[in-house]
Amino acid sequence: MGSKAAVVVVAEGDPREAFQRVQEIRQDKSRILAERILGTAVRARESLPLDLAVWPDSGTVCAAYLPGFEILCSRELARSSPSHLTEMVCEWAAGRHAYGVFMDSAEDWSAFTVWSGGELVRGVSLSPGSGVIEDLGDRLPFEAPFWEGERRVLHTPGYALPFHPIDLGNEALKEFFGFILEGRESVGCLDPEEIEIPAFQVDTRA
C-alpha cells in the first residue's frame, strides 16, 4: 500500500495525545463528525486499524471524537493545495489548533498543514512532478534537515526535489501524531496497526 493518508486532527492540546487515548472515543459523537464530512446520514461499519483508517475507501470516513480531540480521515481531504481547506477546517476547529497530513506514495506527493486561531500558520505541498506547490508560513523545526539537504534522495540522480516528499510526510505524521506509516521509527512511536478508529459510510437505507 505504501504511504497514503488524509488525516486532520483538531486539538486543544498536543495532538499526539489523541492517538494515545483512543479508549475514550465516543461513538455517537464520532458519527456526527463523519456526517460533517459526507454531508449526509451515515452508518457505522467495522472499525479500521489506524494504518488503513488514515486512507479509507472513497465514500467512507474514519472519525473519532474524544475529550479535547477530533480525528477526521477521508480521501476528500486530500487536496494538492491543502490551504484550500482553511475555511472549512477553521470552522470545525472554532479557535483550536488543527493539524493535517496528506500524502499518496503512488504519486510521490505529500503535504501538511497547521492551523491556529482561525488561520493557516504553516502549509507545505510538493511532488516531483509539480515541484513545490505550497510553501506557506514559517518552517517548523522538524523540517530543517529536509530543506538543508540532510535528507537528499541518494539513489535517483536528477531527482526534482531536494528530498523525497513521502519521507517528509511520514516525519510530519511522527511529529504531529506520534506514528509513521513507513520509514525510521523513533522511541515512543505508536504502532498504527494496534489502534482502531471508527469507520462510517453513507447510509443508503435512509
Q: Please state, rounded to an integer, the average pLDDT across all residues of the chain.
A: 93
Chain position carrying cell 523513533 = 186
Residue 155 pLDDT > 80: no
What cell does 176 get? 504531529
Name the residue ranges covered by the structural domains of the chain: 4-200
**Spatial distance between the Cα atoms of 15 and 9, rounded to a whole number of angstroms:** 7
Whole-number pLDDT of residue 200: 96
Count of CB atoms within 10 A of residue 89's CB? 21
pLDDT in tens, 27-75: 999 999 999 888 889 999 999 999 999 999 988 999 999 999 999 999 9
DSSP the chain: --SEEEEEEEESS-THHHHH-GGG-BHHHHHHHHHHHHSS-EEEEEEEEHHHHTSPPTTEEEEEEETTEEEEE-GGG--SSGGGGHHHHHHHHTTSEEEEEEEETTTTEEEEEEEETTEEEEEEEEETTTEEEEEEEPPPGGGHHHHTTTT---SSTT-SSSS-HHHHHHHHHHHHHS--SSS---TT---GGG-EEEEEEE-TT-
Average pLDDT over residues 154-179: 91
Q: Which long-range contacts (CB under 8 A, 24 or more apart) does 91-95 make?
A: 92/8, 92/10, 92/36, 93/10, 93/118
Q: Which residue has the higher pLDDT, 59 or 158?
A: 59
Q: Which residue has the higher pLDDT, 153 or 89?
A: 89
Average pLDDT over residues 3-22: 94
Residue-wise over 133-152: b if at least 16 C-beta within 10 A, else e? bbebeeeeeebeebeeeebe
Whole-number pLDDT of residue 206: 55
Whole-number pLDDT of residue 1: 57
Residue 183 pLDDT > 60: yes
Average pLDDT over residues 96-116: 96
